[in-house]
Amino acid sequence: MAGNMRAAVEMVLHSGFQLSPDAFEYLASKRDPDRLVEAALKSIKDAGSFPLVLDRSYFEALEHTPKTRDRLHCGCISAPRSEPNPETKAIADAGGLLPGVAGSRALAVNLAAPRYEQQTAPSQGPAFFEGDGVRLISGLERMTIKGKASDFRDYFRDRLESLSSILRSRADVSGATTASQVPDGLKWHKVKFIGMVNSKKEFRDGTVVVELEDEEGLVKVTFRGDEAIKKKAARLLVDEVVCVLGATRNGSSVIAEDVIWPDIPYLSRTPAPSSDHAYAVLTSDVHIGSKTFLRDDFERFLGWLRGETDEPRLNEIANKTKYLVIAGDLVDGVGIYPNQEEELEVADLYDQYRIAAEYLSTLPDRIKIIIIPGNHDACRPTLPTPPIYSDYAAPLYSMRNVLMLGDPSFVNLSGATFLLTHGRSLDDVIPFLPDCNFREPQRAMVELLKSRHIAPIYGEKTPLAPEPKDRLVIDPVPDIFHAGHVHVEGVAEYRGVLVVNSGTWQSQTKYQLSAGIAPKPSVVPVVDLTTMKTYELNFS
């Protein structure tokens, strides 16, 4: 690569953008690609718009008509965020907070006349909530499994295609072939190719051998040598799609020099600045019906949302809360694991959802409640999962401020795009990911963003439905990635995306005790959707 072309590419990457392959070719054909890039970056800054990928037409337009600001838009534009890094702040410490919040007595009064029973409204579709700033992107699609032997082949073909196309939007993947195109028999030939990880073997000396495949062929890739490449090999998950750079050794065997994951760009879409400082309260894993459901804490939480606190700052947040998002396991369910009945206080699934609706109907109508299913809810167990069955959860469907969605769902709330998923696959990926653990589930969620997939490994605990389109691919890049399931609250920020695991309202179960899982219950992340500032409120 010529020196000024290298400088141009580095400038683009360091500024957080990616170059499309045709833009790369176009710049390479120019005498002064670095000056063109410099001008382009300046225009982007002036326009206050952030395309994810700079393609050829963008540079052409810039060269021929230097003042075409409007044409700089690449279809994925958003305004700059006023505060680029969300700041996570605990505004209340463990124990003794929220003085003045009414507990179970206040709730008992409210429960005497549950409002949902007085309503006759049928279940509300997403259009009903548009006036409240809710825009559904996906999450209510029909399930379209054909039931044929070829379903899984079609599913994985789509996964490979979707993730390959995300990979190819990266400048550093430009010109990559696919696994089956790796030349046979040529020795020490440099290769760069995309494939799905078919298998992974780790040897005692630290060497890792991975098979990468596409529809037509398979390449054996060996990772050995320095720590950097071994570290990348250790991070590889079976069934994810990556680009490998290396050199052929013999036959269809390759020595790896680098791995590129699809990942998310540095400058992802950011929410349009709204002036109203609406808050979203994120929770999950309420487990209503379980003997270990922390009723007092949950009632304190609902009391706070109703404005029953003397603390002005907490009251202000409650008053400005526009959304309550529940990422699954609203109830404990029935028959979810052997002998669960011994741990149930409410053994009837209908009763569990009735109680859930009674609780939620004590909240003011202005709070829109978005609910997706978890593995304890009344729903088919496979991902993608449709919304909780309406016959079991009828009382929730009758509430005018409740929107029931599937898992996963992409939904925009007051300008911020949320990816909502329960997070069951965290059980599958955490044991395989170096530097990840069940005490900090947000770390594994960041790795899912790098894989651009919410359940990369097939065949572990998370059952996948072979839909013709892989809806578990993370696309678009969300502003907020919200999951639960692990019962440990945790917040992280990765390349401008707020990553939230919303914890639980259930204390340690017998199983968790035996498995050494220590939950962090009754802590609720709350996000200011204007600034992305996050607060962790503790109701224990």
Q: Closest approach of Cβ 485 to ligand D5M, in Å?
A: 5
User: Residue 367 and residue 75: Cα distance in Å, rounded?
Assistant: 32
Q: Which is nearer to ligand D5M, 376 or 450 (CB)?
A: 376
Interface with Fe ion includes 489 (CB under 5 A)?
A: no
- The option from ligand D5M, Fe ion, Zn ion, none interacting with 511 (CB < 5 to 8 A, set by class) reads ligand D5M
Please name which of 157, 181, 173 lies closest in space to residue 243, comparing C-alpha atoms. Answer: 173
Q: Contact with ligand D5M (CB under 6 A): which of 108, 175, 337, 513?
A: 337
Residue 310 C-beta: closest distance to Zn ion, Å: 35
Q: Count the neighbouring beta carbons within 10 Å of the beta carbon of residue 419.
A: 27
How many residues bind Fe ion (CB under 5 A)? The answer is 2
CA dist., res. 292 & res. 328, Å (int):
17
**Residue 82: alpha-carbon gap to chain centroid:** 23
Contact 19, 53 (CB under 8 A): yes
518 touches ligand D5M (CB under 6 A): no
**Contact status: 329 vs Zn ion (CB under 5 A):** yes
Q: In the complex, what is the shortest distance from the CB of residue 514 to ligand D5M, in angstroms, rounded to a whole number?
A: 9
Stretch of 214-222, 365-373, 468-476, 510-518 lying at the interface with ligand D5M (CB under 6 A): 510-518
For ligand D5M, the closer of residues 164 and 507 by Cβ is: 507
Element (H, E) at 305: helix 295-305
Looking only at residues 513 through 532 of this chain, which bind Fe ion when binding is defined by CB under 5 A?
none
Report in angstroms how near the CB of residue 347 gets to ligand D5M at its nearest. Answer: 17
Residues 245-284: x/- map of binding to ligand D5M (CB under 6 A)?
----------------------------------------
Among 374, 384, 387, 466, binds Zn ion (CB under 5 A): 374
Strands (E), 317-422: 321-327, 368-372, 402-404, 409-413, 416-420
Which residues, numbered 388-427, are part of the site for ligand D5M (CB under 6 A)?
427
Q: What is the spatial distance between Cα 36 and Cα 33, in angstroms, rounded to a whole number?
A: 5
Contact flag: residue 517 with ligand D5M (CB under 6 A): yes
Is residue 377 involved in binding Fe ion (CB under 5 A)? no
Strands (E), 309-430: 321-327, 368-372, 402-404, 409-413, 416-420
The smaller minimum CB distance to ligand D5M, of residues 330 and 492, is found at: 330
Q: Which residue's CB is nearer to Zn ion, number 98 or number 499? A: 499
Q: Helices 295-305 and 312-319, interaxial angle, to 10°?
A: 80
CA separation for the pair 172, 89 (Å, rounded): 36
338-397: which residues touch ligand D5M (CB under 6 A)?
A: 375-376
Q: Kindly tell me which residue out of 55, 214, 285, 428 binds ligand D5M, with binding defined by CB under 6 A.
A: 285
Q: Which of residues 475-494 bind Zn ion (CB under 5 A)?
A: 485
- What residues contact residue 467 under an 8 Å CB cut-off, 6+ apart? 143, 144, 145, 155, 384
* DSSP designation for 324: E
By CB under 5 A, name the one of 270, 290, 375, 401 that touches Zn ion.
375
Q: How many angstroms separate the CA atoms of 511 and 97, rounded?
A: 30
The three-class DSSP label of residue 313 is: helix
Window of 52-60, 223-231, 324-332, 408-416 that interacts with Zn ion by CB under 5 A = 324-332
> Does 512 help bind ligand D5M (rule: CB under 6 A)?
yes
Q: Which is nearer to Fe ion, 214 or 329 (CB)?
A: 329
Burial-class residue 75 by CB neighbours within 10 Å (0-12, 13-18, 19+). exposed
At 432 the three-state DSSP class reads helix
Give the integer Cα–Cα distance in Å for 328 and 418.
15
Q: How many CB atoms lie within 10 A of CB 239?
A: 20
Positive/negative CA dihedral, 380, 302, 517, 532? positive
Near Fe ion in 309-368, by CB under 5 A? 329
Residue 322 binds which entry of Fe ion, Zn ion, ligand D5M, none, CB below 5-8 Å type-dependent: none
Q: How remote is the C-alpha of 126 from its chain's centroid?
A: 20
Q: What kind and span of H or E run contains 59?
A: helix 56-64
What is the smallest separation between the CB atom of 376 and Zn ion, expressed in angstroms? 6
Q: Smallest distance, Å, CB 329 to ligand D5M?
A: 5
Candidates 44-52, 77-85, 114-122, 509-517: pick the segment binding ligand D5M (CB under 6 A): 509-517
CB atoms within 10 A of CB 370: 27
Q: Report the distance separating Cα 1 and Cα 534, nearest Å.
A: 44
Please name the amino acid found at residue 298: F
Please count the other Cβ atoms lying within 10 Å of the Cβ belonging to residue 265. 20
Q: Which is nearer to Fe ion, 229 or 429 (CB)?
A: 429
Nearer to ligand D5M, 176 or 331 (CB): 331
Strand 134-138 relative to strand 409-413, pairing:
antiparallel
Q: Does 440 bind ligand D5M (CB under 6 A)?
A: no
Closest CA to 416 of 271, 267, 269, 268: 271
Member of 55, 214, 285, 467 binding Fe ion (CB under 5 A): 285
What is the distance between the alpha carbons of residues 241 and 191, in angstroms, rounded to a whole number?
16
**Min CB(337)–ligand D5M separation in Å:** 4
User: Which of these segments, 23-31, 109-117, 359-367, 482-490, binds ligand D5M (CB under 6 A)?
Assistant: 482-490
Among Zn ion, Fe ion, ligand D5M, none, partner that 512 touches (CB below 5 to 8 angstroms by kind) = ligand D5M
- Is the CB of residue 190 less than 8 Å from the CB of residue 175? no
Q: How far is the CB of 295 from Zn ion (least distance, A)?
A: 19
- Specify the residue, 152 or 511, whose C-beta has the smaller distance to ligand D5M: 511
Q: Which residues contribute to the site for Fe ion (CB under 5 A)?
A: 285, 329
Q: Which residues contribute to the site for ligand D5M (CB under 6 A)?
A: 285, 329, 337, 375-376, 427, 485-487, 511-512, 517
Q: Which residues contribute to the site for Zn ion (CB under 5 A)?
A: 329, 374-375, 485
